Amino acid sequence: SREFKSHDTKVAIEDLTIGENTFSIMAGPCAVENKNSLKEVAKGIKQAGGKILRGGVFKPRTSPYSFQGLGEEGLKILYEAAKENELKIVTEVMDPRQIDLVSKYANILQIGARNMQNYELLKEVGNSNKPVVLKRGMSSTVEEWLMAAEYILVRDNYQVILCERGIRTFETSTRNTLDLAAVSLVKELTHLPVIVDPSHGTGKWKLVSPMSKAALAAGADGVMVEVHQSPEEACSDGLQSLTIENFTKLTQNLQALAPHF
C-alpha cells in the first residue's frame, strides 16, 4: 500500500523501466504458434515501438481438447524472435514446476487470471527473482487482487506489475467487462505499476484501440495487447487480436498521447 511505500515502484529490466511515468507496451500473439509467424509479429512490434513480446507457451484453455501451447519449444521460439528484434519477453507460468524453465527464457513471469489465487504458485514466483505480471482474476475483487500481490511481495519480490484484464459481469456483449475504474483506484491504493489488457478485457479487436487510450487516460502504466500476423488463422483469441497494421496505428496514437513511451 501507499502507507507502506509512498513512492511508485518501478520495475527495471536491464535498460527498460515499467512504471514511473513510462507507458509500456507488451504485445504479441495469444499463443506462440510457430517460428515464422512469431518472428513476423515480433518484427512488426519492434518497428511499431513495442518493447516487450508476449506469447503463451503454457495455455490455460477452457477445453482440454483445445491447443495447449508448445511448451519449451515455444520458449525457444519466443527467445529467438525476441533476441532478433531486441525485445523483452513476458509469458505465463501455470505451475510452480514451470518457473525454473520459463525463467531461463523470459524476463517477466505472467500469472494468468485463472491462477490469481493459486497461492502456492504465487509463493514460488515470490521466491524467484523475476518481475511478475499478476492478472486480475475474472471474478476477483480489488481487495483479493491486492492480497494476491501481497503473497509475492511478502517474499521480498517487489517487482510486481498488476494487470486489469476484465471481470465477469451480467454483460455478454463483450467477453469481459473491462474495469477501468479499478485501474485508477488501484493506482491510488498501491505503489505498484498497473497495466491493462484490453484484448481479454473486451474480446473484440475493434475495442482494443479505444480501451488502450482509455487505459492511458485512467492512469495505467501500460497495456498488454494481442497481435497476430493473421488473426483469422490464430489458434486462439483471433477475434480480439490486432493485425500488425492496426497495432502500428495504435502505438502511433498512444505515442501522441503518452509523455514517455
Residues making contact with ligand PEP (CB under 6 A): 30, 56, 60, 92, 112-114, 135, 165, 197, 200
Q: Site for Mn ion (CB under 5 A): how many residues? A: 2
Secondary element (H or E) of residue 48 = helix 35-48
- 30, 70, 78, 178: which one binds Mn ion (CB under 5 A): 30
Interface region with Mn ion, contact rule CB under 5 A, candidates 24-32, 67-75, 139-147, 186-194 = 24-32
Secondary element (H or E) of residue 224 = strand 222-226
60 binds, among Mn ion, ligand PEP, none (CB under 5 to 8 A by kind): ligand PEP
Q: Which residues contact 210 (CB under 8 A, 6 or more apart)?
A: none
Q: Which is nearer to ligand PEP, 124 or 226 (CB)?
A: 226
Q: Which is nearer to Mn ion, 22 or 212 (CB)?
A: 212
For the record, the C-alpha cell of 137 comes out as: 482474476
Q: Which is nearer to Mn ion, 30 or 125 (CB)?
A: 30
| 3-class DSSP state of 11 | strand
- The phi, psi pair for 17, rounded to 5°, reads -120, 135
Q: Which residue is nearest to ligand PEP (CB)?
A: 112
210 binds, among Mn ion, ligand PEP, none (CB under 5 to 8 A by kind): none
* Alpha carbons 105 and 88: distance in angstroms, whole number: 10
For the record, the C-alpha cell of 59 comes out as: 495455455
